[in-house]
Amino acid sequence: MSRIGKAFENGKAFIVFITCGDPDLETTAAAVRAAAANGADLIELGIPFSDPTAEGPVIQSANVRALKGGVTTDKVFELVRELRRDVEIPLVFMTYANVVFSYGTERFAARCRETGIDGVILPDVPFEEKEDFQPVLNRYGVDLVSLVAPTSENRIAMIAQQAQGFLYIVSSLGVTGVRTEIRTDLGAIVEVVRQNTGIPCAVGFGISTPGQAAKMAAISDGAIIGSAVVKILEQYGKEAPERIAEYVRQIKAAIR
């Protein structure tokens, strides 16, 4: 079993997204450790990119701040190496095809294995184009995590059958960001997923409150929260990790 599966072994998983280098890499490391120590089961590390097309304004701004601060892909790999001294939960990169291509796909995959990254999510790579990345990542023991969106419709079964690690179910159309209400019939999507794979699925995009997280975890195997965490980092900067610890405890208690 992929190490990612460990995130789902003890009930519903809480997955946290953090943009690397916002406000700086030291704070990112402290935030990751705070989240891991307080109930996060898996952490998605965002490698900053100048044109993050799937992201809303909160995470876009975090990308801009991180890049202005001099964060590079190499520095993010060094961050992961340092985190792996004591952080044992699965770590997954969320970034864009261009970041991997420009670094060199083979070199990127090799460094993922070397530093301890378990999977990669590339939201701008359609399922039909995953062969550009998946075989190389798999050679180095790294999962390519697929996304299923409300628009996936008759492709959901096909995506689920070939899924690795976990399936990221996108709750709503549009970009990431906090939403007051999620109207998508996620139960129907999860049902198709369940019929076609034993791999766990988690719901993300738009979740911010304990109530929303509990609702999403009730119909799937876990909840993913990004923008709400990134907002805490934007608001509190270097003081954010202790706030993130408290927020993660609240969400984990709600989905438990």
Read off the pLDDT of residues 122-142 as tens digits, 9 standing for 90 and up.
Answer: 999 999 999 999 999 999 999
Number of domain units in the chain: 1
- Phi and psi angles of residue 16, each rounded to the nearest 5 degrees, phi first: -115, 135
Q: Which residue shows structure tokens 């900067």? A: 237
Query: If you average pLDDT over every residue of the chain, what do you get?
Result: 92
Q: What are the pLDDT digits (tens) for 176-214?
A: 444 344 456 788 899 999 999 999 999 998 899 999 999
| 14 is a domain residue | yes
Dist. CA 207–CA 256, nearest whole Å: 16
- Which residue range forms the structural domain that includes residue 113? 9-143+209-255
> What is the C-alpha separation between 99 and 73, in angstroms, rounded?
8
- Decide if 246 is inside a domain: yes
pLDDT at 120: 98
| Residue-level pLDDT at 177 | 41
Copy the structure tokens of residue 135: 């075989």
Give the pLDDT confidence of 86-95 residue by residue, as tens digits: 999 999 999 9
The pLDDT tens digits for 32-78 are 999 999 999 999 999 998 876 667 788 999 999 999 999 999 999 99
Mean pLDDT calculated for residue range 92-114: 97
Give all strands of the β-sheet with 147-148 in edge-to-edge order.
Answer: 143-145, 119-121, 91-94, 42-46, 13-19, 222-225, 201-204, 167-170, 147-148
- Closest by Cα among 44, 220, 25 to 118: 44
Residue 198 CB contacts under 8 Å (≥ 6 apart), including other chains: none
- Asked if the structure places residue 87 within a domain, the reply is yes
Mean pLDDT computed over 214-241: 96
CATH code, domain with 106: 3.20.20.70
On whether residue 3 sits in a domain, the answer given is no
Share of the chain above pLDDT 70, in %: 93
* Long-range Cβ pairs for the range 69-74 (8 Å, 24+): 69/21, 69/22, 69/23, 69/24, 70/21, 71/20, 71/21, 71/25, 73/47, 73/99, 73/103, 73/108
178 within a domain of the structure (yes/no): no
138-142-145 Cα angle (round to 5) = 95
So what's the pLDDT on residue 2? Answer: 76
Q: What is the pLDDT of residue 110?
A: 98
Task: Record the tokens describing residue 230, joined without a space.
Answer: 């990134």
Quote the pTM value. Answer: 0.93
Residues paired with residue 17 on neighbouring β-strands, in sequence order: 44
CA–CA separation, 149 vs 136, rounded Å? 25
